[in-house]
Amino acid sequence: MKVELIAHSPDPDIIAAVAAMLTHSKSDFKKLKEENEETLKKVLRKVIDMGHTSVVEHAYFTFAISGVSRALTHQLVRHRIASYSQQSQRYVEMDMEYITPPSIEKSKFKEKYHEMMKKIWEFYNEMKKELPVEDARYILPNATCSKIVVSMNARSLLNFFELRCCLHAQWEIRKLAWKMLKLVRQVAPVIFEKAGPPCKTKHICPMDKKDCRWYPKNKIR
């Protein structure tokens, strides 16, 4: 899996902070932006803690993601407020590249799994000689590698991290979520300093999974 933050709003923390201040100020954007940086960050922290996260929608982030499965991207596109551009299986020649879940890699099914993948690609290449590629690709598995470019605003990302950084999220998209969180924290540390699964950020478990090793010991009711 490779995840790159290829673009983002300039000074995302500052933009969000100024947007927050503007709602309760007569000053214009330019003047507010000249406020002391620590003052702006303090305001942003307070606003986020109060749950007024609409101001962080002004900050956008774009990621280039590769080496992931179609199973992952099908989960990813369920997050509605985002923009996606995914590699086409119709126009791009598909090599025999696929993802192997760690559980399979460690199991007795490992050899059979790789043998089956080989057979699938052999059959796929055979069908392509006589059938339209768009029809032959129906045989390709969810494990097939894909590439996708994703853009989200910070508020959508906060929701994404809350859902997908959780231990009960599927392993591959959880791995992606933590990689994305690490990247955005480098450019917007205030917005994302408390981002992540609710067990870590709010000391609650929405699913009440008491058997989870991250289940909050001091649960707030």
- Tell me which residue has tokens 């853009």: 151
Locate 25 and state its tokens: 């100020």
pLDDT digits (tens, 9 = 90+) for 7-62: 999 999 999 998 988 887 767 777 777 777 888 899 999 999 998 999 999 999 99
Q: List % helix, strand, coil for the chain (3-state, nearest 5).
A: 50, 15, 35
**CATH fold of 2-65+146-201, please?**
Gyrase A; domain 2 (3.30.1360)
Q: What is the pTM of this model?
A: 0.91
Tally of CB atoms within 10 A around 26: 6
Q: Could you say which of 45, 70, 78, 164 is catalytic? A: 164
Task: For 135, list phi and psi in degrees, rounded to 5.
Answer: -90, -40
pLDDT digits (tens, 9 = 90+) for 177-190: 999 999 999 999 99
Tally of CB atoms within 10 A around 73: 22
Cα separations in angstroms, 169 against 58, 63, 128, 178: 27, 20, 36, 11
Looking at the chain, the domain(s) classified CATH 3.30.1360.170 span 2-65+146-201
Question: Is 174 one of the annotated active-site residues of the chain?
Answer: no
